[in-house]
Structure 1
Amino acid sequence: MGRPIDARGWIFEVRDEKAATETWLRIGNLKSWNRNESENEETADTTTNDSEGYYEQDVMQRGATIEVEGLYAQVTTGAPDPGQAYIDNVWTYRLGADSRGRIRWRHQTQSVWVLWDATVTPGEQSGGTNDKTSWGASFTRCGKPKTEAVAGGGTPT
């Protein structure tokens, strides 16, 4: 039986579509995440008299979302976190066919990335007098997921 893995060990990155070469930006300062593999699922009822009173269905469409939440981050230079800044200032403002981007994610112990073509919806930002500013985003998968080995042989850490 396998050992449970820490939720804090998940890594989420977005692809910088503006960069001349393939560039992935880590989304920093995350506090929580949620992946829902049944979001946007559609089914067709296939129950007939031959079902003898038992419900039957076929899945016609699969969908999935990832929601990430954390703290609005600035690195030590005063510049914002690269992943958060790309989502907030670039990806969020793209529309139509341009609204799709790429996200990849894996646990730090895994040697394979899961890649999604996705759209992004920015999350709410808030805070009170003695709070840090919150930050978040939701990604909706578009199409079938892909996988890719971690560069450099993918030795799990």
Structure 2
Amino acid sequence: MSTPTRPIDARSWIFEVQDLEAETETWLPIAGLNTFTMNPGENEEVAETTAFESEGAYEEDVMQRGASIALAGQYRVNKATGEQDPGQAYIDNTWTNRLGIDSHNPVRWRHKSQTSWVVWDATVSPGEQGGGNNDKTSWAATIRRNGWPTTAPVTP
């Protein structure tokens, strides 16, 4: 008898950005998230290979793979200090100001039930922030993978 499968909770995903300015390896959790969208086909490129012998059927080869993650939620601050959440602040104030090769930064994520992280060398585009009269201020960023993903074990 097989064990039934169940869906996993979206709220149990963990996203972190590496602080490249820290003296030791430091990963900053990104707080305040209430939605994410992983797009494994972002920046995919194909070459059409249709020829006469294709008999009218389209054919292609994938020439490039890409992926992105759009993160969105609420702008978070520490109640006592007023400082922005460290993960959000690193993305907003450090990472998004870099250009060229310096625009790359590691990110990682996993579901709390998983024993390894997915790790990307990535670039980021800041998202919109705003809100209305009775809203909390929004926060967002889109992270795009560069190269192939790697994995790392979850350590305590």
Choose the corresponding residue for 1:148, options 146, 149, 152: 152
How far 1:79 moved relative to its partner?
Answer: 1.9
> What amino acid does structure 1 have at the position aligned with 2:153?
A
Q: In the alignment, what sits opposite 1:46?
A: 49
User: 2:152 and 2:55 mapped to 1: Cα distance?
Assistant: 45
The CA distance in 2 between the partners of 1:125 and 1:142, in whole Å, is 25
Question: Does residue 1:132 correspond to 2:133, yes or no?
Answer: no
Identity %: 59
SS of the residue aligned with 1:145? strand
Q: Which runs of 4+ in 1 moved over 3 A?
A: none
Q: Secondary structure at the match of 2:147?
A: coil
Counterparts in 2 of 1:58-77, with a 5 A limit? 58-77=61-80
Cα deviation for residue 52 of structure 1 reads: 2.5
What is the CA–CA distance in structure 2 between the aligned matches of 1:127 and 1:53, rounded to whole Å?
51
Partner of 1:113: 117
What stretches of structure 2 of length at least 5 have no aligned partner? none
Shift in Å, 1:75: 2.1
- Where in structure 1 are there 5+ consecutive unaligned residues? 153-157
Q: How many residues matched?
A: 152
SS in 1 for 2:89: helix
In the other structure, the counterpart of 1:79 is 83
Match of 1:99? Answer: 103
Instruction: Please give the alpha-carbon distance, in whole angstroms, between the structure 2 residues aligned to 1:129 and 1:47.
Output: 55
RMSD, aligned CA: 1.0
Which residue of structure 1 aligns with residue 5 of structure 2?
2
